[in-house]
Amino acid sequence: MPFWWRSWLSWFLLRVHFRHNNSIENGFNSGNTKSGWSSMQVISSAPGRICLFGEHQDYLGLPVIAMAVDLRFYIQYNPAPAGPYRIRTPDLAEKERSLDLHVDPVGDDYCWGIARVLMDEGFTLPSGGEFTFESKIPVRAGCSSSSAMSAAWLRLLLEIGEHPEKEKYINDPVLCAQLVYRGEKELFQGAGGMMDQYTCYIGGLLHVYPDSGDLPYGVEELPYPPGEILLVDSGDPKDTQGVLSRAGDTARKYVKDAVDSIPNFSLESSTLTYFDLFGGRLKDDRARMHVRNQIRNRDLCQDALRLLRHGPVEPGVLGALFREEHEILAGTVGISTLKIDAHLGALRGEGSPGGKINGSGGGGTFFCVQGSDPNRLEAYLQKRDLRYFPVHSEPGARIES
């Protein structure tokens, strides 16, 4: 049975059974770990993220704009004798799990995957250690708590590991974001694009776009992050990989139908006018509407990019852009919920210029522009016992001590 559907909580708890396998070809021979261990405590952290524009488009090869936010995932390392790593999760019912780098996991284990990627890069990791995980990010809620954990984990392993060119990795966050992606997605065939790994590791407000150079994605750091965002947890958990897989499969199918039916059609470059002229060749009404709205979503991202490059965006303009994107995500991509739609509508009635669902959808979080009277929005949320967080742009993965 495939394990891609497992929630972040499943692999965070590291539900892994082990089998002995010390083969050199797997990169886990005894020479790949240090005989001793680091002699000092180290704490790393990485931020969660929200997707402002281009939601559900990175896996279609289109750009996105995302922002790391000031809710972070922390990992504390303490040296320990040689043996399987001990990973403590004091906030959870199961307080401790083991991670053995010398054996393959049965299921998806991103901590193991990222360690393996670093070892394949030539890193030597401590032969033992105790790690404590703590998250300030809402879990299973669309804020990339899983990628924040992975980013903090990789940054920690860089710090406590050894490599002849260690500083090259530490000083190249784009390379490290790619390594997080390899350890999370490529090793376990996970759904979704690279937005989460890039944003959580690099931090700030980012334009992530396909690159024709040596790297699969380019990154542009944008200078004017919005400062009036209120992030709200709907309280409904979501199936991240399941939603991404279903939405992605549908989108890719409809885009392929368009490419096969419309001369010279390209989701990356065809204009909305061109599609309106020739879209009738798509006989499936659902496919035609879906592709048209994917083009609209793509163009919204580009409109927002032009604004965010040149100065702070006025709250009313930002809210209107969010509203239009949410309409596409709810009606075409189908990832919103009636509860989230209702809250966004009510918050607009309380003075918010607009907002949208955040992340893969099917539950989780949403956010809105606070507007001129944040107290009214907070009163609405408090009355309904909804958790909320005023969020701001935040630096990426780092060592705290």
Give the H/E segment covering residue 380. Answer: helix 374-383
Q: How sure is the predictor about 212, in pLDDT bands with cuts at 50, 70 and 90?
A: low
Rounded to the nearest 5 percent, the helix, strand and coil shares of the chain are 40, 20, 40
Q: How sure is the predictor about 105, in pLDDT bands with cuts at 50, 70 and 90?
A: confident
320 belongs to a structural domain: no
What is d(CA 252, CA 328) in angstroms, rounded to the nearest whole number?
Answer: 16
More confident residue, 146 or 320: 320
Helices (H), 58-97: none
What is d(CA 187, CA 291) in angstroms, rounded to the nearest whole number?
Answer: 30
What is d(CA 47, CA 61) in angstroms, rounded to the nearest whole number?
Answer: 24
Mean pLDDT in residue range 114-143: 94
| Average pLDDT of the chain, as a whole number | 88
User: What would the two tokens of residue 67 be?
Assistant: 């922002």
75 belongs to a structural domain: yes
**Count of structural domains within the chain:** 1
User: What would the two tokens of residue 39 be?
Assistant: 């002699």
199 belongs to a structural domain: yes
What is d(CA 196, CA 147) in angstroms, rounded to the nearest whole number?
Answer: 6
373 belongs to a structural domain: no
Reported as a single tens digit per residue, the pLDDT across 81-94 is 999 999 998 876 77
Percent of the chain predicted with pLDDT > 90: 74
The number of CA neighbours under 13 Å toward the Cβ of 293 is: 21
Sign of CA dihedral 184, 187, 191, 192: positive
359 belongs to a structural domain: no
What is d(CA 249, CA 99) in angstroms, rounded to the nearest whole number?
Answer: 33
Residue 241 confidence (pLDDT): 78
CATH number at residue 21: 3.30.230.10
What is d(CA 114, CA 120) in angstroms, rounded to the nearest whole number?
Answer: 10
Domain that holds residue 76: 8-222+395-399
What is d(CA 309, CA 322) in angstroms, rounded to the nearest whole number?
Answer: 17
Burial of 277 (0-12, 13-18, 19+ CB in 10 A): exposed
Tally of CB atoms within 10 A around 303: 14
Residue 186 confidence (pLDDT): 81
114 belongs to a structural domain: yes
User: What would the two tokens of residue 289 be?
Assistant: 């509407």
46 belongs to a structural domain: yes
44 belongs to a structural domain: yes
Reported as a single tens digit per residue, the pLDDT across 217-275 is 899 999 999 988 999 999 988 777 788 888 999 999 999 999 999 999 999 999 999 99
